[in-house]
């Protein structure tokens, strides 16, 4: 009876060691996953010039690859937010009207974010910028 218990115990230990080895190999061989970082709270502010105040609200998500990149982008969020607020403040009704204009704004915002992160980290890290919601009140 003791011999059977010893064999079963050694088999269980070997099985456990084999399973742990496979987990380690799986983690090393995995490609980095796409991560999203939402800038919260949403960016809210004024844009344009003139007597009448015009407002915008933008819910923005940044896309990058890997957890480390996400942590670095999160660390630089204040600089990123500042750059985006400055970009939105320069907009006019014409630069925010229509789908094509908003796509241009999205691409310019991505360039601005990549520029800031590249200055700080030596590489852009952010692959894309997405407007989850963009509300304009002219």
DSSP 125: -
Residue 90 main-chain phi, psi, to 5 deg? -80, -10
Q: What is the pLDDT, as a whole number, of residue 15?
A: 53
Each residue's pLDDT tens digit, 109-122: 999 999 999 999 99
With 60 as the cut, is the pLDDT of residue 11 above it?
no
Per the DSSP assignment, residues forming a β-bridge with 34 are 65
CA–CA dist 86, 25 (Å, integer)? 46
Q: What is the DSSP string of 105-124?
A: HHHHHHHHHHHHHHHHHSS-
Contact 46, 58 (CB under 8 A): no
With 60 as the cut, is the pLDDT of residue 19 above it?
no
- Would you place residue 30 in the very low, low, confident or very high pLDDT band (cuts 50, 70, 90)? confident
- Would you place residue 61 in the very low, low, confident or very high pLDDT band (cuts 50, 70, 90)? very high
CA–CA dist 58, 124 (Å, integer)? 22
CA–CA dist 126, 133 (Å, integer)? 19
Q: What kind and span of H or E run contains 2?
A: helix 2-29
Q: What is the pLDDT, as a whole number, of residue 51?
A: 82
Question: Could you tell me the end-to-end alpha-carbon distance of the chain, in angstroms, rounded to an integer?
Answer: 84
Contact 124, 72 (CB under 8 A): no
Q: Given the structure tokens 């942590």, which residue do they identify? A: 71
Question: What is the overall mean pLDDT for the chain?
Answer: 85
Each residue's pLDDT tens digit, 65-107: 999 999 999 999 999 999 999 999 999 988 888 899 999 999 9
DSSP 128: E
Q: What is the pLDDT, as a whole number, of residue 36?
A: 95
């Amino acid at each position: 009876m003791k011999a059977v218990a010893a064999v079963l115990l050694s088999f269980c230990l070997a099985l456990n060691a084999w399973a742990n080895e496979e987990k380690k190999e799986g983690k090393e061989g995995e490609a980095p996953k796409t991560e999203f970082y939402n800038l919260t709270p949403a960016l809210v502010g004024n844009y344009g010039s003139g007597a009448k105040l015009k407002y915008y609200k933008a819910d923005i998500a940044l896309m990058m690859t890997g957890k480390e990149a996400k942590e670095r982008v999160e660390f630089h969020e204040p600089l990123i937010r500042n750059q985006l607020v400055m970009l939105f403040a320069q907009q006019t009704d014409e630069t925010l009207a229509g789908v094509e204009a908003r796509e241009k704004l999205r691409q310019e915002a991505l360039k601005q974010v990549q520029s800031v992160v590249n200055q700080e980290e030596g590489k852009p890290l952010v692959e894309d910028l997405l407007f989850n919601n963009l509300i304009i009140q002219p």
